[in-house]
Structure 1
């Protein structure tokens, strides 16, 4: 789904040791207090055994000393061993390295974490992601800078993993395209990247909202990129006003929209007074399935009342504008049928329509949910 770019740690390996010797002795033994994000079936969730009292920890301490040895052969052998240790051991090693004074050891460790971050191994990528996100917040400057460098270099991987984690917490994700800019290793300037829908099934709470911070490469509130990430808060979602405010802080107001449980799948054009002129119809949407086309004009919603004798009376409730239509959609659910009065045949907002299509018609629209729609290219 996402491209794999070559790691850039060769730059750090070449320059970090020389540039950070002034603070070699700095100890950063305290992780920043980042809210824990416990995901379903996440083996890393829960209470971890203290790494200071186990035989494994002692072996890893020996490995750290070997990586920092004055003898080249010892360091080389230790580097090979570093590449072979398990993902869990590497995560433990990262914790032990927090108080290690050697910049060279830190750089070698960070390079290995970076390698596994884009290895294609789901377990390795999950471990590396957790390690990098934590280390990026540490007070150990060299480790924090290295972790942030990895997250910037592999922004697409960070977005991908965050999206998967959001799905585990109940968000509905629709993937778009990073083309054409993703080959250059920079966030996209145009084209949809992700649609994220938070509906009644969202169970992320406060901690889950932290995942949206990891979308900063494509959703920073100060970014000039208007596309990238669109977030839809579906009617019935459990977000509190405070949580909505935090979400706005993380991604920017222009990327968030509140929507009803059902979706028509249209975009309005320039108005003709009363009603909603349809500029585009989303592929695969409720509107497309009902035969609604660009150029049609929605005049109203048709309500039907059935008398005791079985007679059905239709009453047309005029639609004032697009906002009025959105408000009326809030009373419908996915799977309901919405009857619309439509005038068809308009090709532009100012005319050029076929005379035989001026007569209004009633269209039955079987409503889909927002989660049924694809990302707009």
Structure 2
């Protein structure tokens, strides 16, 4: 991976260049797969080219660190785990809608930035329904049906995301296996250990995590369902508890906001903890996917006129700085009281709905948002952050309200676009 500058558009980018022993088809496929997707929680690909026989991909430069490195620094609080996994699930849902399965969801392929999570490295992505002669991926996150030679499906990505969520909440993997062989065997035959009870993790979220780890892919929720449920849990954690004296019926309804979606899955007639049986003990070899950074300078002339300006041995496998990442939709109308030290909230109105925001310590925070008639809330990032956003949707029409702070006063930019 190289940090570079696009001389045509005048922006910093990341350039991924293969080592001599790597498969050039892989980076070409990665470029095509990622370029077909557009979502704030997926790393963007800008260009592909070849310098002689050496292919390279030009992509956005993400300012952040991998979730794997973030975990080394210490445990992730439950609300942060909900938000990060909600954003990854939203990106996966977009990929699945496009008929693409990532196949290597893991902490090392999740970038944590100041604006949200981004899923990177579509190097081994495959069309949904494709078969596998040799299973590629990271053993600790490979779904059992893939180990057994089943078709590639979106449910396999949901399984891997369930492992990530479990690890963030529990600090360990769901199985006791310590070797690659033991881990692979556990995926197929061993039920995951129940997620330990802990403060800040509602029971419906624990049940959702376990449903993602179901042995039978038919028993796992879709990525969009996971994104919605975790986003609601994250929004509740960010907004905090309601003020003292709130009527009990309002408290009950607020608690149900998270439980209702998980309950819909749990009571749909499919048990999220049901294990499939009768799986054979042996399966195809599981190969860990990795790509080593280039150890020497490689000129990368091409249509983008990219000039390599510096090496970065610790640059993540994909990187970039793109529009603010957004979490999947919170409840249609959310509100919270501003702190005593903050300036009064300001309400901004658009064709898609309204957003109320305030500034505190130079950071924007949405204190409420509500969709207009015929619109729904598509995504929201309430902050506090440099930019707090909410997106409203009507059919394929999207309306974005992006709030920033200038001199302690909220300012909003309203954008309309097509999905």
| Bin for the TM-score computed over the shorter chain | under 0.3
- TM-score (norm. length: structure 1): 0.27
- TM-score (norm. length: structure 2): 0.25
Q: Pick the structure with more strand per residue.
A: 2
Q: Pick the structure with more helix per residue.
A: 1
